[in-house]
Every structure is written in C-alpha cells, then in structure tokens.
Amino acid sequence: MTDAVEVYLDRLFDLLSGTGARGRRALLEAQAHLEEAVERGLDAGQSREDAEHGSIARFGTPEAIARAHASAGALPFTAAVGRIFAAGWLMTGVAGVAVGLMGLVDMVLARTVGPNFVTDDPVDVIYTAERCRQLGVVNGDAATCRAASIAHHVDELATRPLALGALALVLLALFVAARRTTALRAFTQLPSAAMISTAGVVGFGGVGLLLLAYGALGIALGERVEVGAHLAEGLAGVAAGLVFLPQAWRQLRNA
C-alpha cells in the first residue's frame, strides 16, 4: 500500500473510531476503492505519486467521508447511551487515579516540607480535652494537641485519596476486561477518539494548570501554609491530562 493512501486511511480510522462494525466496513471499502483507483492510474501510465493523489482527490477528504458515514446512520438511542456510559466509566477511573496521585503527593510534601505546607488548623481553634484525647494527647497541651490535629488531617488527605485511587485502578481494570468480553463490549464502546482525548486534556489538564498556578502564586506571595494541597491537586490534574495528550495531539495534527 502507498504512503499517501496509508496516511489517508489512518486519518479515516481516527475519524471513524467508536462507530463499530459500520465504521470498519466503511474503512475496508475505502481501502479497496483507493487501491483499485491507484492501480488504474498506474495502468494508465501515471506515476505512483500522481495515481495516489488523484485517487484520493476523487474519493474525497477523510472528513467528508466520515461526515457522510455519520449522517447515513445515526446511532440508536441505546448505543448513544452506551457510549456516554463508557466515556463516564473511563473518565471516572482516570479521575480516581488522579485523586490517588494527589494523596501521594500530599504525603510526600508533608514529609519533606512539613505538614503545615499541606494543611493547617485555624489559629483561633479551641481544642477540648475530649478532642485531644481522641488525637492521642493525654496531657491536654494545646501546642501538642494542635500538632496532632494537623497530623491527623494530613493522614486523611493522604490515605483517603490513596484508597480511592486503588478503587479507581480496579474500575479501569474492569473496563479493560469488559472491552475484551463480547457480552459486555457494548458497554465499553467509546465516542470518537478526538472527543475523548480533547475532553481529557482540557478537563483534567486545564484545571490542573489552574491549580498549579494558584499554588505557585501563593508561594510567590510568601505563603507557606496549605499551599502544598493546591500544588498536589494541580500536579494530579496535569498528570491525568497528559494521559490523553498524545492522542489529542495526533488528532490535532491530522485535523
């Protein structure tokens, strides 16, 4: 197969992703048509390059073919709901893993920079004797109780997100397993690759960059309390966005 035809079919494949058997048939038909047209051009004495580009020009752009394919058969309601469900399943799993990463970063920052960098108690908070005993402080010393309270908050900021991240990994593993199971494949058919990748980059990456900027601004202004939590949230969001970036970039380059 020629390079120009391969590039054309790769682009058409991306545009038809998520359309199931109809999309595969359309792709195979396009491949057969283009190969036949190239052979006719070669038989007519054209160079391979001219035959390639001529057959592609007569056939139409990948975008036009994909639009015609989409308008020829809109998804049934149940299929559309299935794709929304699959996208939600995937995005929820990625978001959960990002939350787990956030907890891990919080834990690292608390140990390397200090617990106050991640979280803090208001300066005017009053620690009752009962609350201090709950935190393991029996002598009732306010400073010790405050330190124990902050350490408790740090522990919550780390362990709960990590637990959620572990559950999200299970959710993603189930998604992969369902895609390989014929009976469950209908629940894992995703919308187009362009839609999913763009939503992932913009949704996760955009919010992550904003949170990173917010944390960096706090550091620039001399703040050293609770700034780490914003940095952890931002790093987790950016990391999740990077998962989708290669596919989104490829879609953009081929647009």
Q: How would residue 70 be classed by pLDDT, with cut points 50, 70 and 90?
A: low
Question: Over the stretch 217-250, which tens digit does the pLDDT of each residue have?
Answer: 999 999 888 899 999 999 999 999 999 999 888 8
The DSSP string of 29-73 is HHHHHHHHHHHHHHHTT--HHHHHHHHHHHH--HHHHHHHHHHHS
The answer, yes or no, to whether residue 195 has pLDDT greater than 90, is: no
Highest mean pLDDT among 1-5, 62-66, 200-204, 248-252: 200-204
d(CA 110, CA 81): 43
Q: What is the pTM of this model?
A: 0.68
| 65 Cβ contact partners less than 8 Å away, ≥ 6 residues apart | 12, 15, 26, 30, 59
Distance CA 37, CA 15 (A): 22
Is residue 53 within 8 A of residue 106, CB to CB? The reply is no
State the DSSP string of the chain: --HHHHHHHHHHHHHHTT-HHHHHHHHHHHHHHHHHHHHHHHHTT--HHHHHHHHHHHH--HHHHHHHHHHHSPPPHHHHHHHHHHHHHHHHHHHHHHHHHHHHHHHHHHHHT-HHHH----TT----HHHHHHTT--S--HHHHHHHHHHHHHHHHHHHHHHHHHHHHHHHHHHHHHHT-GGGGGGG--S-HHHHHHHHIIIIIIHHHHHHHHHHHHHHTT--SSHHHHHHHHHHHHHHHHHHHHHHHHHHHT-
In tens, the pLDDT along 93-138 reads: 999 999 999 999 999 999 999 988 898 877 777 777 788 888 888 7
Cα–Cα nearest to 173, from 89, 64, 75, 83: 89
pLDDT in tens, 78-98: 878 888 999 999 999 999 999
